[in-house]
């Protein structure tokens, strides 16, 4: 099966060939075509249909399902390779998706506003007008059939008959009596997690029969093939049937207060929730450091007319400090080892409508302040219009969260999964301080708190990093070089 998706700078191209005609040709080395056909080992599989599935693409490494924002094309529209077909909402952004084949959009399987798991079919693409009606019929039959039924868009000829329980999909022309049309799972039909499980348990993925949408091989299918039985909670014997026993009230969610409204998570909120729960498994610690901000406040007033923001100044200072303490830029993902990242990519938290996203300033230590500020402005605009590309929000190695702009003087940030540290910057406020001679004065101070992965970064490492960062902020001339 052809692979999907295909990434481009602004769009995603995808579509998978479900059935491509493979006509039999006699071998030039055989004496006759009849002799070639009589050899069962040389039999060529022939696929009868030319209908292709359009899959839900994986737009990021954390995406497990996507939501259809809108279909750019309608059923019956003729598509050319490279045309935008549908807009998909991932966990971080909305992206146009292109078709990788010429054809006709025969059927829309997943409508606007609906969600589908990554790898599931969201539409059917036909090559000719004659196949459109067939594709639509198959789409209807698949939506009303059982999950374990035959695929509605493929009829592959196999050299051996299927199990007796298999039922051929309706509206598919039957081949010769010697070969029965049925759906056979292939390598590309399995979900990524199912493939991972198959590799771990040494299960031949080609031998697993999928029970997911359109015959997808799910993790449960692989576990069943491997003989893994999930443990079930023991239930005390009761006079009545256990199967008929209703769920216990204690296990139910607390009742809602009168007048309450249940609001389901958006795709982005669900992704944030998943990441926050995942971060709880990481052993972290926090260190606070007060920094004199008079000098950087003065520099900000000078560069502000040129479009430089305080966030850009802090991101540049953080990148320069990280360059001197590479352990803060490291990451641990498997709990057994950690890696030093070759690039310093500063992710900065941005609040947008309905969620939170962290656009990434890549190689921030190598960009001058004004170029970095321009890049940051572009990223914020793309983030708020949900047009960020995956590499623009998923490649951060160190994160900065600046709530000081809202007047917050102190807070702790939650460490993003896969990173070594995150910095929380509070507001700059006048503070009474005493010098070494006992004289009092008023200076601007901001409190910086850093949350770090204690498997990688230790207290002394973080203290040294914060001391370097404070020195850069209190003597900010190097930021403009």
Residue 316: inside a domain: yes
Both 98 and 197 in one domain: the answer is no
For residue 423, pLDDT over 60 is answered with: yes
**Domain finish residue from 180, 201, 224:** 224
Is 9 or 15 the better-scoring residue by pLDDT?
15
Q: Where are the alpha helices (DSSP H) in 47-180?
A: 130-144
Using pLDDT thresholds of 50, 70 and 90, give the confidence band for residue 49. low
Q: What is the pLDDT, as a whole number, of residue 229?
A: 62
Least confident of 187-191, 323-327, 367-371, 473-477: 187-191
Question: For the chain, what percent of residues have pLDDT higher than 70?
Answer: 73
Question: What is residue 40's predicted lDDT score, i.e. its pLDDT?
Answer: 46
3-state per-residue secondary structure call for 8-42: CCCEEECCECCCCCCCCCCCCCCCCHHHHHHCHHH
**pLDDT for res 341:** 94
- What six digits make up the tokens of 324? 């001197």
Handedness of CA 450, 455, 457, 459 (dihedral sign): positive
Tens digit of each residue's pLDDT (9 = 90 or more) over 190-237 = 777 778 778 877 788 888 887 776 677 887 888 788 777 655 544 444
Assess if residue 301 is contained within a domain: yes
- Judge whether 246 lies within some domain: no
**Whole-number pLDDT of residue 107:** 84
What pLDDT score does 396 carry? 95
* pLDDT for the residue numbered 98: 81
379 falls within a domain: yes
Cα 351 versus chain centre, distance:
19
- Residues ≥6 apart with Cβ < 8 Å to 438: none
Question: For residue 431, is pLDDT > 50?
Answer: yes
Domain boundary, last residue among 106, 122, 140: 140
Q: Are 78 and 207 members of one domain?
A: no
Which CATH number is 108's domain given? 2.40.50.100
> At residue 412, does pLDDT exceed 90?
yes
Q: What is the CATH number of the domain that holds 473?
A: 3.30.559.10
What's the pLDDT score for residue 17?
A: 46
Q: What's the whole-model pTM score?
A: 0.58
- Domains in the chain, number: 3
User: How many Å apart are CA 438 and CA 433, to the nearest integer?
Assistant: 9
| One domain, residues 203 and 293 | no
pLDDT score for 471 = 97
Whether residue 198 is found in the same domain as residue 83: no
The residue written with tokens 């850093």 in the block is 450
Q: Are 129 and 51 in contact (CB under 8 A)?
A: no
Q: How far is CA 342 from CA 318, 320, 323, 396, 455, in A?
A: 16, 14, 10, 12, 19
List beta partners, residue 331: 339
Contact 116, 134 (CB under 8 A): no
For 116, the domain range is: 52-140
Give the best-scoring range by mean pLDDT among 6-10, 260-264, 390-394, 458-462: 458-462
Confidence of residue 371 (pLDDT cuts 50, 70, 90): very high
Specify the higher pLDDT residue, 74 or 48.
74
Residue 128, token pair as written in the block = 């000719």
Q: Give mean pLDDT, residues 418-447.
A: 93
Residue 70 lies in a domain: yes
Claim to verify: residue 321 and residue 390 sit in the same structural domain: yes
Q: Of 201, 325, 391, 454, which one is the catalytic site residue? A: 454
Say if residue 303 is in the same domain as residue 397: yes
Checking if the pLDDT of 45 tops 50, the result is no
234 assigned to some structural domain = no
Find which of 148-162, 235-249, 467-481 is predicted with most confidence, using mean pLDDT: 467-481
**168 within some domain:** no
User: What DSSP assignment string belongs to 41-55?
Assistant: GGPPP-B---EEEEE
Tokens 């795709």, residue?
A: 267
CA angle 180, 44, 204 (to 5 degrees): 75
Average pLDDT, the chain: 77
Q: Which residues contact 71 (CB under 8 A, 6 or more apart)?
A: 85, 86, 87, 108, 111, 112
Q: Please say if 454 is a catalytic residue.
A: yes
> Confidence band (pLDDT; 50, 70, 90) for 271?
confident
Per-residue pLDDT at 212 = 73
**Omega before residue 278 within 30° of 0, cis:** no
Highest mean pLDDT among 43-47, 102-106, 180-184, 257-261: 257-261
| Sign of torsion over alpha carbons 124, 128, 133, 135 | negative
Mean pLDDT along residues 400-415:
94
In this predicted structure, what is the pLDDT of residue 460? 96
Segment 294-305, tens digit of pLDDT: 999 999 999 999
Backbone Cα Rg of the chain: 29
291 and 206 in one domain?
no
83 & 206 share domain: no
Task: Please name every residue paired with 421 in a beta bridge, in sequence order, or none if there are none.
Answer: 452
Clarify whether residues 93 and 213 are in a common domain. Answer: no
CB atoms near residue 432 (< 10 Å): 9
Same domain, 362 and 444: yes
pLDDT at residue number 376: 95
What is the predicted pLDDT for the residue at 189? Answer: 61
Give the C-alpha distances (Å, rounded to integers) separating 273 from 104, 286, 415, 429. 39, 21, 13, 32
CATH number at residue 211: 4.10.320.10
Give 142 or 279, the one with higher predicted confidence.
Answer: 279
Highest mean pLDDT among 23-32, 70-79, 458-467: 458-467
pLDDT at 240 over 70: no
Helix (H, G, I), strand (E, B) or coil at 59: coil
Check residues 267 and 149 and name the one with the higher pLDDT: 267
Tell me the two tokens of residue 122: 């969201």
Structural contact between residues 99 and 8, judged by C-beta atoms closer than 8 angstroms: no
Residue 330 included in any domain? yes
Banded model confidence at residue 145, pLDDT cuts 50, 70, 90: low
Nearest to 197 by CA among 217, 175, 169, 179: 217
pLDDT at 251: 54
**Where is the domain boundary, 207, 224, 241?**
224
The H-assigned helical ranges of 210-364 are: 219-225, 267-279, 294-303, 310-324
Strand pairing partners for 87? Answer: 70, 96
pLDDT given for residue 266 in this prediction: 80
Strand pairing category for 11-13 and 94-98: parallel
Residues 310 and 443 occupy one common structural domain: yes
pLDDT, tens digit, for every residue of 95-120? 888 887 888 888 888 888 888 888 88
Question: Contact 443/433 with Cβ under 8 angstroms?
Answer: yes
55-59, 322-326, 347-351: which has the minimum mean pLDDT? 55-59
Rounded average pLDDT over 142-168: 43
Both 428 and 335 in a single domain?
yes
């Amino acid at each position: 099966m052809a692979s999907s998706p295909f990434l481009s700078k602004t769009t995603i191209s995808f579509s998978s060939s479900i059935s491509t005609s493979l006509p039999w040709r006699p071998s030039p080395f055989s004496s006759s075509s009849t002799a070639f056909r009589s050899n069962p080992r040389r039999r060529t599989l022939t696929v009868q249909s030319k209908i292709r599935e359009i899959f839900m693409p994986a737009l990021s490494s954390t995406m497990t399902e996507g939501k259809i924002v809108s279909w750019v094309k309608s059923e019956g529209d003729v598509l050319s390779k490279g045309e935008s077909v549908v807009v998909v909402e991932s966990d971080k952004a909305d992206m146009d998706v292109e078709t990788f084949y010429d054809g006709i959009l025969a059927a829309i399987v997943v409508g606007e506003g609906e969600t589908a798991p990554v790898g599931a079919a969201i539409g059917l693409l036909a090559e000719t007008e004659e196949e459109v009606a067939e594709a639509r019929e198959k789409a209807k039959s698949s939506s009303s059939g059982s999950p374990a039924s035959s695929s509605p868009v493929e009829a592959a000829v196999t050299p051996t008959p299927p199990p007796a329980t298999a039922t051929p999909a309706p509206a598919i022309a039957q081949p010769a009596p010697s070969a029965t049309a049925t759906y056979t799972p292939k390598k590309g039909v399995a979900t990524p997690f199912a493939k991972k499980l198959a590799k771990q348990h040494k299960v031949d993925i080609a031998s697993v029969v999928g029970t997911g949408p359109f015959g997808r091989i799910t993790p449960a299918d692989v576990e069943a093939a491997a003989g893994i039985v999930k443990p079930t909670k023991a239930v005390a014997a009761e006079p009545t049937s256990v199967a008929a026993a209703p769920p216990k009230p204690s296990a139910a969610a607390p009742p809602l207060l009168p007048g309450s409204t249940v609001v389901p998570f958006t795709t982005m909120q669900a992704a944030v929730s998943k990441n926050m729960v995942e971060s709880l498994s990481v052993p972290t610690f926090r260190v606070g450091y007060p920094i004199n901000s008079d000098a950087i406040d003065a520099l900000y007033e000078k560069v502000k007319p040129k479009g430089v923001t305080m966030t850009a100044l802090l991101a540049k200072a953080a990148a320069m400090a990280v360059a001197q303490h590479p352990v803060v830029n490291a990451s641990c993902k498997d709990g057994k080892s950690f890696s030093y990242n070759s690039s310093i990519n500063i992710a900065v938290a941005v609040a947008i409508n309905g969620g939170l996203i962290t656009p990434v300033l890549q190689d921030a230590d190598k960009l001058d302040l004004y170029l970095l500020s321009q890049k940051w402005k572009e990223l914020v605009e793309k983030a708020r219009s949900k047009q960020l590309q995956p590499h623009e929000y998923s490649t951060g190695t160190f994160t900065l969260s600046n709530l000081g702009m809202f007047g917050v003087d102190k807070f702790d940030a939650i460490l993003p999964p896969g990173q070594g540290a995150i910095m929380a910057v509070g507001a700059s406020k006048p503070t009474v301080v005493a010098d070494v001679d006992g004289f009092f004065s008023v200076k601007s101070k901001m409190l910086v708190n850093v949350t770090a992965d204690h498997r990688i970064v230790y207290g002394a490492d973080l203290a040294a990093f914060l001391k370097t960062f404070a020195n850069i902020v209190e003597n900010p001339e190097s930021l403009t070089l």
